[in-house]
Structure 1
Amino acid sequence: MTSIPKLGSGVHLNAQSRELILKVYIFTIDDAERSGHKMLIKDAIKRTSDATGVSPTSIKRILKEKRSQMSGESSQKTFFEERRRRSKPSNTIVHDKSAIRKCLHNYSTAKNESLTLMNILGNLQKDISFNGRKSTLWKVVKQLGFKSKKMFDNRRMFIERHDIRFNRIEYLDKISMYRTDRPIVYLDETRILSNTIHVTTDPLQNKKKKPSKKSHFVIAYAASSSGFVPNALFICEDSQKQSDGQDEKHYEDYEKWIETQLIPNLPPNALVVVGHSLLNNKLLDAVPSSSSKKKDMINWLTRRQIPFSDSFLKPQLYELIRSFKPRKKLYKVDDILNACSFATLRLPPSHPELNPIENIWSIIKEYIADKKFKMTLETLSWAVQEKTLIVNEDQQIWLDAFRQVDDNEKFFVEIDSILDKLSDNVINLESSDDENSETSDEDSATSDFD
């Protein structure tokens, strides 16, 4: 008779498998009794092990757990809770991408060795205690817009795409010019997940219920070097249970907030630096994409008095739209502020390290996380206003936040100059000089990462 191979160590046994093992054990004892024999427990365990491939030790622990459950005396973790399959380490990065971007620039410009993902991973683990895997690092590198390039001396470097560098250089040039004669205000938004906890009086049912995956609050604020703009807090709830038109409703409320609360409290002649977010990225006149409805394409062309044939199909209409669409996106928020004589400047996409409010958001979120309350629009608004008053009184927090942004700006000005020289030594194997082709023409405005 061929023996059943033993299961490997650490193999997970689900509830169905455990019940099956118990039934085999009971059947073995019952079968011996029907034959007129009295089987010892150790012999029954051995026969069950031979029949199922599960080790005798595991079977003993399964039996012990079953007895404990039947007697109601189990107070410790059961065998299956202890042996629950370990989840794979999360690929969630505990460090922000800004720190990784800075390290990649430093490695590319300061080290004479050829850069590979493996030696970059080793350097990040030492420099910022990066805990991700090679596959995680590769995803981040691509998200940040870095590409591996071969140099004439056969080394490999990681260099940013042209469009990312261009947006950053343009921003740094303009904000440096504006600083000479205008006060600067940053406008940004963040999102906080609902932490509502339902508690019952029954201790056996006193469990935390996970909030809806899409239930969160949107907070927008503006701030200068002296603190948050007074009387200008915007909060709305973005819930999965709300209607399909909630985004449009939120923007209408946001637009009203800008006109009635933000603008009246802005310093005269201010430059408003606008961060990328869903509310701030509402286009003044959205350009149809290739997946838009045909009637929307036709309406867009008609409004601009662009001639087209009635026989045109969607691909032909879209190519015509691409030919006439504005090179620069026009945003509703910018238009409202410009109409009130405020200049606007867009942060380069995915560069939160150039926004001083990012550091303040973390302080406010930490304060809210320590609060034990049922999160509603009213309670959250109260908590945010309470903390912002405290933060505004501590000028050192704002000095540190703006000093850090100033240091980051100086770093990028210096690094972009070095990258110009470094890129001259790259072996160019591209068939086209337009690196922007890597990003789709239909891409929506990029949101800053948290």
Structure 2
Amino acid sequence: MERPAAATPQSARLRSQAKEVIYNVNRYFLDEKANRGPLLPVTQALARTASATKVSQSTVKRICSKLNQQWETEDEHQKPVFHSPKKTQPATVTNFDDFDQCVLRRTVLELYERKEIPTVSKITEILREKISYKGSVESLRKILLKIGFKFSKIDGRKFLMERSDVALTRTRFLRQMRQCKQSFENYVYLDETWVNQNYTVGKCLIDTSSDKATGVNPPTGKGSRLIIVHAGTKEGFVPNARHIFQAKNDGDYHKQMNATVFQEWFETKLLPNIPQNSVIVMDNASYHSVHLERNPTTAWRKEAIKEWLIAKGAQPRDDMLKVELYDLAKKLCNGKKTYVIDAIAAEAGHKVVRLPPYHCQYNPIELIWAQVKCYVAKKNTFKSAELKPLVEEAVDSITPENWKQAVRHAEELQEQDARQDIAVERFVESFVVNIEESSDDELSE
């Protein structure tokens, strides 16, 4: 014989709204007791229910009519099924664009600058105000890890901190840019972007009287794709440096570029048209960073590492293991990397400075690209033959004043971040006793 399950107190399973209704009904019955009779005629069941529960008669009618109909069509002894409204779950958002990533990074560091410990919940609330972030706390946690933050233990508690390697590359870049001002007067900013045939704005105006979009509906799919390679200075786009070409629409546009295309553009269209003694700022894309000489990696065979060491003048012993040879090679390399583009620029009297990872906001051409794409989105006809002329028109619409503002904005960000890094370091040093790398990416609030 089965034992009956232990009964769970009903009050433990009732939500606050249900408890409130029970309280209201009880108060109504107590009032009737004090009145020594019904407060309303017993024939007015709907009104009596609404008065007892303190909800509107229309709500009582809507709920009861639906459940009464369900009860009549099913077993009369079966209890009606009540359903609670579904909770609206925050959207999963993990595809922050460059602008949003910049806002997120600065939000975290600003909290440290204000001497506040950044938690994911606190950052989420700030981003809801700044950029109308609609994602969940968990989504934001993943984005933070993706853009170079980590969770570390400080005195047994977990805190959100920027990875040391990310902070180091930023500090080196900012210091390098300050040093360049002593020897260089001209700065050139280069980058690549793309525009699809069906590129359009994400939103369009709606006629509320008819609920129909007043804009042009773009065709489905992305259509053909153009890749744009260009560079600019505070005076405007570099003359005769524009390069626009058709690419296959098969994923990330970075895969359409290669070192050969970029190097040819760099040598034939960029260098001949920029001022002498210029600093050339670019990101760390693979086609920007082809090594002048390959340094040994752990994937190299033992004999290949030994031959490399001998070519460098080292004398490795015959009994050395591969790990020892690789360690010796790393010491000879001393962490230095030489790139083909850097050598070409140096030979022409220029210096290349690479942006730190996750910091595209330091390149003013990013703001220029946003203006170009906005121009294309507003005037796009979604016709392949008309896309390239439209892109060229959009590029020509950018004025020297646009470039001056973009460069000024990027320089201001660099100055702010240099000061911010000092403030953040002082605050972190004030309470850090022992930092342990956390193997758990969860954050305890």
| Paired amino acid for 2:176 | K
Instruction: Look up the match of 2:191.
Output: 188
Q: Partner of 1:175 in structure 2?
A: 177
Q: Residues 241 and 184 (structure 1 numbering): CA distance in 2 closer, same or farther, change over 3 Å?
A: closer
CA distance in 2, matches of 1:422, 1:360: 36
1:84-233 alignment runs, 5 A limit: 89-93=92-96, 96-112=100-116, 114-148=117-151, 158-180=160-182, 181-193=184-196, 195=198, 210=221, 217-233=226-242
Q: Offset of 1:415 from its aligned partner?
A: 0.4
Query: Deviation digits for residues 232-288 of structure 1, max 9, x if unmatched?
Result: 02344553789xxx97x9322321221121111011221212222232122222334
* Aligned mates of 2:417, 2:90 — CA distance in 1: 39
1:151–1:425 CA contact under 8 A, matched in 2: no
Q: 1:404 to 1:306 in 2, by over 3 A?
A: same
In structure 2, what residue type is equivalent to 1:352?
C
The one of the two structures with greater contact order (alpha-carbon pairs below 8 A, sep at least 6) is 2
SS at the partner of 2:408? Answer: helix
1:46-57 mapped onto 2 (5 Å cutoff): none
- 3-state secondary structure, aligned to 2:288: coil
Q: Does the CA contact (< 8 Å) of 2:193 and 2:228 recur in 1?
A: yes
1:228 CA drift (Å): 0.7
Can you list the C-alpha shifts for 1:395-440, whole angstroms capped at 9, x where unaligned?
A: 33223212211221121021011022112124343479xx9xxxxx
Report the Cα offset of residue 320 of structure 1: 4.1
| Counterpart contact for 1:191–1:217, Cα < 8 Å | yes
Question: 1:325: which partner in 2?
Answer: 333
AA partner of residue 166 (structure 2): I
Per-residue CA deviations over 1:29-85 (Å, capped at 9, x if unaligned) read: xxxxxxxxxxxxxxxxxxxx99xxxxxxxxxxxxxxxxxxxxxxxxxxxxxxxxxxx
Mapped contact 1:171–1:347 kept (Cα < 8 A): yes
**Is the Cα–Cα contact under 8 Å of residues 230 and 243 in structure 2 kept in the other structure?**
yes
Q: Judge conservation of contact 1:364–1:388 (CA < 8 Å) in 2.
A: yes
Rounded to whole Å, the distance in 2 between the matches of 1:358 and 1:341 is 26
TM-score by length of 1: 0.63
1:424 is paired with a residue whose SS is: helix
Contact 1:116 1:156 survives alignment (8 Å): no
Q: Does the C-alpha gap of structure 1 residues 299 and 147 become closer, same or farther in structure 2, counting only changes over 3 Å? A: same
Task: Give 1:351-370 correspondences, 5 Å limit.
Answer: 351-370=359-378
Kept in 2, the 8 Å contact 1:93–1:132? The answer is no
Alpha carbons of 1:257 and 1:380: their partners in 2 closer, same or farther (altered >3 Å)?
Answer: farther
Aligned partners of 2:171 and 2:418 also within 8 Å: yes
Show the 5 A alignment for 1:1-40: none
Q: For residue 159 of structure 1, give the secondary structure of its aligned residue in structure 2.
A: strand
Counterpart of 1:271? 279
Residue 385 of structure 1, aligned match among 381, 386, 392: 392
In the alignment, is the contact (CA less than 8 A) between 2:91 and 2:135 conserved in 1?
Answer: no
Whole-Å Cα distance in 2 between the matches of residues 177 and 301 of structure 1?
Answer: 34
Aligned length: 334
Which residue of 2 is the match for residue 81 of structure 1? Answer: none
Q: Residue type of the partner of 2:391?
A: V
Which residue of 2 is the match for residue 348 of structure 1? 356
What letter matches 2:265 in structure 1? W
- 2: CA distance, partners of 1:278 / 1:369: 29
Residues 192-217 of structure 1, C-alpha deviations (whole Å, 9 max, x = no match): 45649xxxxxxxxxx956459xx854
Q: In 2, Cα distance between the equivalents of 1:123 and 1:395?
A: 35
Letter in 2 for 1:397: N
Distance change (3 Å), C-alpha of 1:325 and 1:158: same
CA distance in 2, matches of 1:320, 1:250: 32
User: CA separation of 1:156/1:430 partners in 2, compared to 1, >3 Å: closer, same or farther?
Assistant: closer
1:285-331 CA distance string (max 9 Å, x none): 23343235667656644543444467877655544433333412222
Partner letter of residue 330 of structure 1?
A: T
Moved more, 403-412 or 293-302: 293-302
> Cα distance, 1:129 vs. partner?
1.8
Please tell me whether Structure 1 or Structure 2 has the larger radius of gyration of its CA atoms: 2
Residues 292 and 382 (structure 1), Cα distance of their counterparts in 2 relative to 1, 3 Å cut: farther
Q: Which residue of 1 aligns with 2:423?
A: 418
Query: Where do 5+ consecutive residues of structure 1 fail to align?
Result: 1-48, 51-85, 197-206, 436-450
d(CA) in 2 for partners of 1:303, 1:143: 40
DSSP 3-state at the match of 2:423 = helix
Q: TM-score by structure 2 length? A: 0.63
* AA of the residue aligned to 1:229: V
Shift of residue 230, structure 1, vs aligned partner: 0.6
Q: Partners in 2 of 1:416 and 1:178 — Cα distance? A: 20
Q: Report if aligned partners of 1:188, 1:222 keep a CA contact under 8 Å in 2.
A: yes
The answer as to whether partners of 2:196 and 2:226 remain within 8 angstroms in 1 is yes
